[in-house]
């Protein structure tokens, strides 16, 4: 079954990337400070945050000052994905996006009861050693964004 995923570039108090997977009628969400990578040698910290409404997958705009997550949000990548396994300590899945493709895993830090996970690109035909992340939010794109409430929580 194909499900939605989205990665949002979020210029809040600290730039991070919101990695979201459709699961059980919501978007399971992680804040990834350095963003995802197509290089299997990059193991990215992913902090589990609250689930978001499915509609939030399409949000782009500027979250107003004074609200949680205030700052610019743009879609960095989106597409569909399929789950290979979804457990409490490891989630294995295949992404089909514009930028992110192939196998990935989210692995919870060993011995941790908190929200710290690692986002890891699996070694496959889509892996790109030396891959570099490029930002989507240009000054021109920022000028076109409207200040609007995301209609729910934001991270």
Task: Examine the pLDDT at 119 and tell me if it is beyond 70.
Answer: yes
Percent of the chain with pLDDT over 70: 94
pTM: 0.90
Report residue 2's pLDDT band, with 50, 70 and 90 as the boundaries: confident
Per residue in 59-71, pLDDT (tens digit) is 999 999 988 889 9
3-state SS of 66-134? CCCCCEEEEEEEEEEEEEEEECCCEEEEEEEECCCEEEEEEEECCCCCCCEEEEEECCCCCCCCCCCCC
Per residue in 92-112, pLDDT (tens digit) is 999 999 999 999 999 998 766
Domain residue spans of the chain: 3-144
């Amino acid at each position: 079954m194909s499900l939605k995923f989205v990665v949002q570039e979020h210029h809040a108090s600290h730039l991070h990337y919101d990695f979201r997977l459709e699961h059980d009628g919501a978007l399971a969400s992680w804040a990834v400070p350095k963003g995802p990578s197509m290089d299997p040698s990059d193991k990215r910290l992913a902090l589990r945050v609250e689930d978001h409404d499915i509609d939030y997958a399409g949000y782009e705009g500027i979250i107003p000052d004074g609200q949680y997550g205030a700052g610019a949000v743009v879609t960095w990548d989106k597409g569909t994905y399929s789950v290979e396994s979804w457990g409490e300590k490891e989630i294995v899945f295949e992404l089909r996006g514009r930028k992110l493709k192939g196998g990935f895993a989210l692995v919870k830090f060993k011995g941790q009861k908190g929200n710290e996970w690692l986002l890891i690109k699996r070694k496959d035909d889509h892996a790109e050693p030396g891959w570099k992340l490029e930002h989507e939010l240009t000054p021109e794109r920022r000028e076109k964004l409207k200040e609007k409430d995301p209609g729910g929580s934001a991270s």
